[in-house]
Structure 1
């Protein structure tokens, strides 16, 4: 982990990067909804990643990162198709079917639970606290399925729960496949995933070939530009920076905050309505996520506290614990 020349500057940079990741990624679900009002969902999402990928590749080359090998291109193609295309296309299709942006952000937090499962099936050890978190999150996801929007749009519910499944498979694959340097890998994955999205939209999405560009509203264009620049280029680079300058757990803590931001934005600006089930399910899902991300550390703290209490009980009455000088 890299240290800073000035602790104060380091703290401010850390806080700034965390704030961007917390807030911006929490608002992208609402921005997706605005962009889709007058833009075809799959085409809009594909073009977003296609352009962001091209920019990121250029930036990675400017930084001097090596161009991917043929094997690395193959790995990036698989991951980009799963994450930038399939997972994100399912997100926009779920919202297009009527799933609220805040509710969608809450469903996405189930991704680490799937990832823990793939990790175990792949032969890696998974701590017991992660399995407890997986069970807790599964209960929360089951309760979340009772939310009104899911009952009203069964196809949207299917898309919503399939999105983090695809993202988790892509995330697991990224740990097992040969990939280039982080910025180059991200650019290649976005470029390929975006190209697949544009191709699929062109071939199969209704209205993608006959978009009336004059009817696309300024709000949709602004939302799409926000997704490209802030939601993808700026925030992902902040996330990559955090991975190199702080712990993985702190960098990944956005998963706890994004649903709260998305719910607040969706209800406050989008007029979305949620029933009581989301408020029962969210603490269970976030609790499960906490056990997966911080379980061993939390268990160690509890053990130290228990030992401290036990030592206090064993200390003889009236003893101060130290001898007088």
Structure 2
């Protein structure tokens, strides 16, 4: 009985962690839009990761994780610059240019397709199903570029498609570079990426030096706090927990759900409008993503079923068993 309840508790934890990753990460795109209403985008994002990185480094030290070596700091710097700074800055700038939050979330699902390409170029074997998925995703991304928001803001479209490109390069680098323990690595990457964002905003972002903090709306502050606490600290830790407790495919399945959540929130709360192209492009992108993540397993299941059917058909039939009945 105790084993049963322990198993049930474990399943509820798994379901809860998946629900947080599915829903919270799907809502962060809308929260970014709210935060940017009265905060400079790049500065807002930089301070977000500075704050989250400081908290994560403190937690990592409290857990007794070793401080990064100089080589590990260098690896964290590369990844933080690509992911916490470049990719996220491109996301907020694309939305600032008028790309809807739901549409932005859909574009971000192309990231695993870029990652598959870098993996192959790096000399690793990529299954054939991943190449089919890559082709489907590229077709979907091309159709997505016909969506109304992209046509109205070409610069926003360029920024939107560049964001998952930077994130994929950072993700691939994280597999090749020497890094500290996960919590320490995340904290170091965030705090470096956040510091770069603040510096770039201070030097180049209009209005970053002269923010009227009294004019920042409560909604923007709440959205920013939501991004720091829920969008970064809570949800990323849930994702890391899932990677340790379940398969990579199940943990990464948030990529299928986040765009649907983001589209629903954007239309419901943000009044965003979508044309027909997103509804043509999204199934192609999601199908491509499914082939990249689950393709080899699906092929294995198909071969297993085919072998089972061959064995079944090859069995000798019992006497009297035939397709026609006796007169």
Is the shorter-chain TM-score for this pair beyond 0.5, marking a shared fold?
yes
Q: Which residue of 1 aligns with 2:151?
A: 151
SS at match of 2:126: coil
CA contact (8 A) 1:150 1:157 kept: yes
TM-score under structure 2 length normalisation = 0.95
Q: CA deviation at 1:145?
A: 0.6
Give yes or no for the alignment of 1:218 onto 2:212: no
Give yes or no for the alignment of 1:109 onto 2:86: no
CA contact (8 A) 1:4 1:10 kept: no
SS at match of 2:190: helix
1:159-180: per-residue Cα shift (whole Å, max 9, x none)?
A: 0000000000000000000000
Matched length:
319
CA contact (8 A) 1:84 1:190 kept: yes
Q: Which residue of 1 aligns with 2:233?
A: 233
Q: CA deviation at 1:306?
A: 2.1
1:11-69: per-residue Cα shift (whole Å, max 9, x none)?
A: 01101100000000000000000000000000000000000000000000000000000
Q: CA deviation at 1:308?
A: 2.6
SS at match of 1:6: helix
Structure 2 CA distance, aligned partners of 1:66 and 1:280?
48
CA contact (8 A) 1:50 1:195 kept: yes
CA contact (8 A) 1:113 1:133 kept: yes
Structure 1 CA distance, aligned partners of 2:32 and 2:316?
64
Structure 2 CA distance, aligned partners of 1:98 and 1:316?
67
Give unmatched runs, 5+ long, in structure 1: none
SS at match of 2:66: coil
Q: CA deviation at 1:6?
A: 1.4
Q: Which residue of 2 aligns with 1:30?
A: 30
Structure 2 CA distance, aligned partners of 1:260 and 1:319?
56
Q: CA deviation at 1:311?
A: 3.3
CA contact (8 A) 1:77 1:193 kept: yes
Q: CA deviation at 1:317?
A: 5.0
Q: Which residue of 1 aligns with 2:325?
A: none
Structure 2 CA distance, aligned partners of 1:127 and 1:320?
47
Q: Which residue of 2 aligns with 1:163?
A: 163
Q: Which residue of 2 aligns with 1:283?
A: 283
Q: Which residue of 1 aligns with 2:324?
A: none
Give yes or no for the alignment of 1:84 onto 2:84: yes
* 1:264-283 superposed matches below 5 A: 264-283=264-283
Give unmatched runs, 5+ long, in structure 2: 322-327
* 1:118-197 superposed matches below 5 A: 118-197=118-197
Q: CA deviation at 1:9?
A: 1.1
Q: CA deviation at 1:304?
A: 1.6
Structure 1 CA distance, aligned partners of 2:175 and 2:252?
16
